[in-house]
Amino acid sequence: MLDLIISTLTQGFIYAMLSFGIYITYKILDFPDLTVDGSFPLGAAVTAVLLVKGVNPYLTLLAAVAVGAVAGFVTGFIHVRLRVRDLLAGIITMTALFSINLQIAGSNLSVARSVETIFTAAPTMAVLGSLTLIQRKLIVSLIIMIVCKILLDLYFKTKNGFLLKAVGDNNALVTTLAKDMGRMKIIGLSLSNALVALSGSVVCHEQRSFSSMMGTGQMVFGLAAVIIGTTLFKRMSFVKGTTAVIAGSVVYKACIQIAISLGLPANLLKLITAVLFLAILVLGNIEKGSVKKSVRA
């Protein structure tokens, strides 16, 4: 039972990074970014291949961040410079990434037990060697996630972070500040997909495998986590958006874990994910509607 709780928390923390990415696009930029379903497995694919090739496991995280940022950049470029609608720009990149992921890692790639991951490599063992693997997974995921959270929180306090928030809040103002809002959108999308790919990379370390199908429904998960989180804490303005997103991610993973524990067939998992998401979205829409109205008044 304790193991189950620990692994649920671990999952929640790993997917919180994906949710940070979606928080940036959906909540801050107001951009429905479907690239996520492609950039998440992209991070995993690059990680799996590099691990198999014997690259330092910690470096694979950075590699995933880099390729994720490129994926986000492409979507941003298609939307901003080639003037394709936001939703379609994401779909185009996502579709292209499906083939690219297959090219990188095939349809499935497992990482042999003998290969070291971020959870088993020497530096991790030196610090956390006395813990079991499942506990190490929790601690390492938590650390990576917290580092991302702190960096993001700091970024949102910078001038560039303010400008990013302004793009989603009132892009006319960004233009009158003599700044190119398109450029900020591209920056936001790159940052977002870098986090998503990082999440995919950690999942690959955790599962020791890549599957070309692992991206399906990830955007829905992230959206749900963001909406649950921000709805839970909407009355507490002192709670940072990133903190709310972490809570949302853990809660959502827990809901799914409970459904599985209650004997839900694994084949129905995505259906449950979708239904849960719909429920949250409807609740969130009601919430959002009232906020928008009060802003307009």
The answer to whether residue 162 forms part of the interface with another protein (CB under 8 A) is yes
Neighbours of 266 (CB within 10 A): 7
The answer to whether residue 172 forms part of the interface with another protein (CB under 8 A) is yes
The answer to whether residue 130 forms part of the interface with another protein (CB under 8 A) is no
Q: Interaction with another protein in 174-213: which residues (CB under 8 A)? A: 174-181
Q: With contact defined as beta carbons under 8 Å apart, do 45 and 105 qualify?
A: yes
Neighbours of 251 (CB within 10 A): 16
The answer to whether residue 166 forms part of the interface with another protein (CB under 8 A) is yes
The answer to whether residue 288 forms part of the interface with another protein (CB under 8 A) is no
- The window from 37-45, 48-56, 66-74, 156-164 that contacts another protein (CB under 8 A) reads 156-164
The answer to whether residue 165 forms part of the interface with another protein (CB under 8 A) is yes
- Token look-up 């993973």 returns 253
Judged by beta carbon, residue 167 or residue 196, the one nearer another protein is 167
**Least distance in angstroms from the C-beta of 157 to another protein:** 6
Q: How far apart are the first and last CA of the chain?
A: 50
Judged by beta carbon, residue 112 or residue 297, the one nearer another protein is 297
Judged by beta carbon, residue 172 or residue 266, the one nearer another protein is 172
The answer to whether residue 234 forms part of the interface with another protein (CB under 8 A) is no
Q: What is the DSSP string of 235-246?
A: T-TTS-HHHHHH
CA-to-CA dists, residue 81 to 85, 177, 182, 192, angstroms = 11, 20, 8, 19
Q: Taking CA 104 as the corner, what is the angle to CA 120 and CA 24, rounded to the nearest 5 degrees?
A: 75
One-letter amino acid at 265 equals P
The answer to whether residue 161 forms part of the interface with another protein (CB under 8 A) is yes
- Token look-up 């979606």 returns 22
Judged by beta carbon, residue 1 or residue 178, the one nearer another protein is 178
Contact positions toward another protein, by CB under 8 A? 155, 157-163, 165-166, 169-170, 172-181, 294-296
